[in-house]
Amino acid sequence: MKKILVTTDLSNNSKTAVRFAIQLASQAPYELTFYHADTSFIIDPYAAVTFVDIPPTDNKVQQKELIKFVNTLYKQTGKVPGKINFIAESRLDVSSAVIDCAAKIKADYICIGTRGGGLINKLLGSHASRILSESPVPIFVVPRYYRVKPLKSILYPSDIENFPHEIQLVKKFSALFDAAISVYHYDYFSNEKQIKNKLNDIERKFQSEKITFYFKKLSTENSLLKNLQIDIIITKPSIIIMFTKEDRTWFEQLLQSVKTAEKGFDTRTPMLVYRKE
């Protein structure tokens, strides 16, 4: 059984990530661990108190609040809890706390929510941005305006580098939901013979009843990111799966390219972000 660490600060903005994880676990055998890092104990660093003087924090209250928060969302979604766990702890650094907890429970994924609107830190929050950059495991990124629905389709934008490895990961994930996979590749030189032959070979080898390919030629008028945004809006996938380099630059550019709260970009589709190998 795969494990998902679902982060929440018990705010309204974090409800979408919890709802998304609940939906996934209703469709596939996922064990969910709901995690809350409490920072309310943080003191003024210039005060005449040392951290050595701080007594151990009792997290029973935060634990009860976390359980109440999650159980309320289960009732609202009408889903029956499967194997779930709750962890509440006091930590100074939320980003490190989430990554440490994921390692401790051997999570296969981390699930975080976005705030919506603006640049990357404003969109995700500074903690989520760090988690996205530093996490050794794939991350579900759930937009603020996500609405619960069954996972049926996957949009996988690919640069075709290391495609055999990446498509296997996408297929393993999609198999849990019997979801269709749409592979999109954008290239300025897709009509050149060598590149066209390479793309056709990949399509012949991997196309199936569940996998469809779309090769699109880029123009100077529309960037890769703009084309992707348009296709997301048109196709309305259940989830987008991305493979990004270590610094997540491509992913950040996608989120920064448009003011997300405004028209022109879909703000309801969750993403599953893998680190490129």
Per-residue pLDDT tens, the chain, 277 aa: give them: 899 999 998 988 889 999 999 999 999 999 999 999 887 654 455 544 445 444 455 678 889 999 999 999 999 999 999 999 999 998 878 888 999 999 999 999 999 987 643 333 333 445 566 777 788 899 998 988 889 999 999 999 998 888 999 999 999 999 999 999 999 998 877 678 888 899 999 999 999 999 999 998 887 777 777 788 889 889 999 999 988 875 545 455 555 443 333 334 446 889 998 988 7
Q: How much is the pLDDT for 223?
A: 72
Segment holding 224, helix H or strand E: helix 224-235
Q: Read off the tokens for 35.
A: 């995690």
Q: How much is the pLDDT for 244?
A: 80
Q: How much is the pLDDT for 118?
A: 36
* Nearest partner of 35 among 63, 61, 60, judged by Cα: 63
Point out which residues pair with 3 in neighbouring strands.
Answer: 31
Q: Read off the tokens for 130.
A: 């760090």
Q: How much is the pLDDT for 165?
A: 95
Q: Read off the tokens for 221.
A: 């008028």
Q: Are 124 and 132 in contact (CB under 8 A)?
A: yes
Q: Are 115 and 17 in contact (CB under 8 A)?
A: no
Beta strands 239-244; 271-275: pairing state: parallel
Segment holding 215, helix H or strand E: strand 211-217
Q: Are 52 and 1 in contact (CB under 8 A)?
A: no
Beta strands in 13-61 (DSSP E): 30-38
Q: Read off the tokens for 161.
A: 């580098």
Q: How much is the pLDDT for 105?
A: 97
**CA atoms of 25 and 271, how far apart (whole Å):** 16
User: What DSSP letter does each residue of 171-209 carry, written as one string?
Assistant: HHHHHTTT-EEEEEEEETTTTSHHHHHHHHHHHHHH--S
**CA atoms of 42 and 55, how far apart (whole Å):** 12
